[in-house]
Chain A
Amino acid sequence: MGPNLLVNYGEAVAAILFCIGFTNLLLQTNLIKKIIGLNIMDSAIYLFLAEKGYIAGRAAPIVTNGVTSVEAYINPIPSGLVLTGIVVSVSVSALMLSLTIRLYLRYHTLNLDEIAAQLKKEGR
């Protein structure tokens, strides 16, 4: 175990959240819960990235008063990445939700296992 676990508590939380989301995505049979898991996972990564960009005592990377010194602002890159990530997450959520709607309309259940079982019967 490395030295920085407690210092990196933000990342640690992100990791835990990521795993929670991951587990949800993997194990939940309910599609909506799966999607929630997905969003948790994504959020965890944003948290992680935000923690990465943070430098103690510095301001958000918007030039104020014309100061363009490195020491003044936090790292802007992770913020940019998070922005992109959010868009991706939104898109994916939308897609997943619409898939869920279709499946629900067709099979009247959100349980993926049941859908699979119905499909097996339908297939023949």
Chain B
Amino acid sequence: MDFVCNFPFFSILLSLFSGTICSILPGRAAKVVNRIVIAAVGVMSGILLVYLLGTGESFVYWMGHFPAPWGNEIRAGVLEAGMALFFCIIMYLSMAGGAHKLFDEVEESKHNLYYILINLLLSSLLALVYTNDMFTAYVFVEINTISACGLIMIRQVGRTIEAAVRYMIMSLLGSGLLLFGLCIMYDLTGHLLMSNIKESVSVLIQTGEYQIPLIVSVALMCVGLCIKSALFPFHAWLPDAYGYSTVSSAAILSSLVSKGYIFLLIKIIYRVIGFDIFNNTRIIDVLFVFGLMGMIFGSLSAIKENDIRRMIAFSSVAQIGYIYMGFGMGTQAGMVASIFHILSHAATKSLLFIAAIGLTEVSGGSRKFIDLTGAGYRNKWAGVAFTAGSLSMVGVPLFSGFISKLLFAQAAVQVEGKMLAALIVLGISTVLNAIYFMKTVIRIYAVTGDTSYPCITFKDMKVHAVVLVLFVIVNILLGVSSQPVVNMIEQGLAMFA
């Protein structure tokens, strides 16, 4: 085994351990540690990705001295490595972009705690990405949930705490269902490792035993993860949570945390149940319908919103709807589109959050649209970045959003019964996206008679500006040279099977 194969394990453990270390460090040092860890994990994931692309095969990694059905395992393929790399990039940028806001919004003595949360969140995301064991997944889902909750309420105002409570309640419902589904699954198969479960499941399907419990268990797990990733009817907690938490948190939560759960769902679909078996259930239809509804209702709520951060948050609901719609199509192409959208949405949404904070800063801290008038002139960098993000969300070519839209539509065309619904909703949703994002863009470039707010130049926001530029670059990279990414996703999915 090559040394590189240790990297997934290293990255998980490194981030876990750094969490522990941060607990004794002062805030500033914790920040440094945190950055280093994210960067290191990113580098490792990158190397791993290159390695895997070279070998073309995934590998499993024993967590301990015991092989598959007995010990824990993690597993790394192209998709996992790519996802980890991407998560690191986004997380690093989000952290860097929101760092200056942290000082205003979080007590200084608790900064190190914040970084602990981030580290643990990273480790849990990595574990979700790499894990090959259902129960490990459950445990890390819980870490993920709790640290996400911490990220929400670390800015301690009434709304965030309330949002955190709501978030926790929904998440716990989700975890409860997930765990219950897991238990049933375990009861049916006697395994906790994904690959073993899959073998047993295919045997069960062939023999026709335990069909109903099997379906119910899958459904429970799906619903649990849907709740956790804020699919449409379960999104009530989301706007406050994303809208009022400190900006890095919002960016990370919207772009990574929910994506972690979704990625886990993908893994469950592919590695636990089996793609074909999953597609033969009615569950995908339900996912499809809720996905479509999410796309529409999320956008509608966003249109009504009067607060830029909440608007972006509602837009997340819509975007998650896209992803589930891709699942619901039940084809490989739909899955690829969904995964690409995970990436593209992550890149875009964090960009939007970070840019929005730049805009609100020059508007007296208000996030009401009426105060944001002309903010694009006061903070040019944030304005341009926000515009770029909006365009990506609307699906203008050159940006990543276009490619994901393209992939979705291509995937939709191949599905007989769902084609029209998907295409039309895609169209409508684009229109709605255009309405609320373009409204904002035009608003920030409208002129205002009130010039009492200060202007910000590059000097005052070096880091922020650089981060924004990097985000835009990531976005455009995804949009322009999407083919390697799509290839990677396809390769990764092939490795899943």
CB within 8 Å of B: which residues of A?
Answer: 2, 18, 21-22, 25-26, 31, 34, 38, 41-42, 45, 48-49, 52, 77-78, 81, 84-85, 88, 91-92, 95-96, 99-100, 102-103, 106-107, 112, 115-116, 118-119, 122-123
Contact = CB atoms under 8 A, between A and B. Distances in A.
B180 interface: yes
Contacts of A92: 142, 146, 168, 172
B176 A22 contact: yes
A95 B173 contact: no
A45 B142 contact: no
Nearest to A93: B172
A9 to B, nearest CB: 15
A121 to B, nearest CB: 11
B446 interface: no
Contacts of B176: 18, 21-22, 25, 38, 41-42, 45
Given A25-B169, A48-B180, A52-B183, 14 more contacts: A25-B176, A26-B169, A26-B173, A41-B176, A45-B180, A78-B186, A84-B135, A84-B139, A85-B179, A88-B142, A103-B161, A115-B162, A116-B162, A122-B158
Contacts of B135: 81, 84
B276 interface: no
Interface in B155-169: 156, 158-159, 161-162, 164-166, 168-169
A22 B146 contact: no
A106 B359 CA distance: 30
B139 A123 contact: no
B161 to A, nearest CB: 5
A38 B183 CA distance: 17
A49 B183 contact: yes
B221 interface: no
A42 B146 CA distance: 16
A103 B172 contact: no
A115 to B, nearest CB: 6
A99 B165 contact: yes
B1 interface: no
Contacts of A91: 142, 146
B158 A119 contact: yes
Contact of A103 (B162, B180, B187): B162
A123 B146 contact: no
Nearest to A75: B190
Nearest to A95: B146
A91 B165 CA distance: 14
B200 to A, nearest CB: 15
A51 to B, nearest CB: 9
A23 B159 CA distance: 25
Contacts of A78: 186
B264 interface: no
A123 B306 CA distance: 12
13 contacts: A41-B172, A45-B179, A52-B183, A52-B187, A77-B186, A77-B192, A88-B139, A92-B146, A92-B168, A92-B172, A96-B165, A99-B165, A123-B159
B18 to A, nearest CB: 20
Contact of A18 (B139, B166, B180): B180
A106 B183 CA distance: 39
B149 interface: yes
Given A25-B173, A38-B172, A48-B183, A112 B165 contact: yes
B313 interface: no
A99 B168 contact: yes
Contact of A96 (B158, B168, B192): B168
Interface in B464-482: none
A64 B77 CA distance: 43
Nearest to B171: A92
B110 to A, nearest CB: 14
Interface in B363-391: none
Interface in B119-151: 135, 139, 142, 146, 149
In the A-B complex, list the 3 residue pairs whose CB atoms are closest, starting with the nearest.
A88-B142, A41-B176, A99-B165
B153 interface: yes
